[in-house]
Amino acid sequence: MSKEKMNSKSPQLPWHSRFDLQGITFALFILLGISSLPALEGSGRDLDYWGNLKGFLDQFLPPDFDILPQTLAGIWETIQIAGISTLLATLLSLVIALGAARTLSPLWLVMLTRMLLNCIRTIPSLLWAILAVVLVGSNSLAGVIALTFYSSGYLAKFFSEAFESADLHAQSALRSLGASSLQAFQYGLWPNLRPVIWSHCLWMLEY
């Protein structure tokens, strides 16, 4: 057999290398989903609630326009809470993301910051709302505080990943020319990050 024919054949891999980690994880995920199907079975009492669906839908017709001013006021307050909390979360996340980016901060700070972000993301938004109500009472400020901390856990993660994937050559060049760290970030790194930052902010505002 010639040397060219021997090289053209693909090597035979051992059986254990044919099953990668992703395939095993996907198979375990399928098995978990199948084993969870019995949890979808409801009791007879649960099925009785479907009988109230018609009465629930009948309450929408005819509409009661007397509550329209109160409804519009509540919608406007919700928009204000969402806008203020997203703005505060963006400013807070930009600072936190600098500490969570491996290309911009030392390893000990990165690990500490990411651990903090993981803890923030594990707390549901409803629990943040309860904590805020206990802290400042049942008002719009509680909603701003809850949404600010809840959004910061996600935005800081997105921003840190954007910082790590950004091209740092322009920033390094400005630093070598005598620019300060803030100037290098503002003129060398921020122009590339701005579209990504805006995209994540709009997503969080809609979310």
- Per the domain annotation, does 132 fall within a domain? yes
What domain count does the chain have?
Answer: 1
Q: Which residues of the chain have pLDDT under 50?
A: none
Phi (first) and psi of residue 135, to 5 degrees:
-75, -50
What rounded mean pLDDT belongs to the chain?
A: 81
- Per the domain annotation, does 131 fall within a domain? yes
Q: What is the pLDDT of residue 41?
A: 60
Buried b (16+ CB within 10 A) or exposed e, 189-200: beeebeebbeeb
172-184 pLDDT per residue, tens? 888 888 888 778 8
Q: What is the pLDDT of residue 65?
A: 80
Q: What is the pLDDT of residue 46?
A: 53
Residue 64 to residues 60, 123, 152: CA-CA distances in angstroms?
8, 38, 38
Q: What is the pLDDT of residue 85?
A: 93
Number of Cα atoms under 13 Å in the Cβ half of residue 176? 6
Token pair for residue 145? 């505080």
- Per the domain annotation, does 173 fall within a domain? no
Nearest by Cα to 118 from 79, 146, 90, 157: 157
- Per the domain annotation, does 129 fall within a domain? yes
Q: What is the pLDDT of residue 188?
A: 81
Q: What is the pLDDT of residue 173?
A: 84
Residue 29 to residues 20, 25, 59: CA-CA distances in angstroms?
14, 6, 42
37-59 pLDDT per residue, tens? 666 665 555 555 666 777 777 77
- Per the domain annotation, does 1 fall within a domain? no
Rounded Cα–Cα distance for residues 74 and 87 (Å): 20
10-34 pLDDT per residue, tens? 555 555 555 566 778 878 888 887 7
- Per the domain annotation, does 183 fall within a domain? no
- Per the domain annotation, does 62 fall within a domain? no
Rounded Cα–Cα distance for residues 104 and 72 (Å): 45
- Per the domain annotation, does 71 fall within a domain? no
Length of the chain: 207
Q: What is the pLDDT of residue 90?
A: 93
Structural domain harbouring 123: 81-166+195-206
Nearest by Cα to 89 from 19, 166, 147: 147
pTM (whole model) above 0.75: no
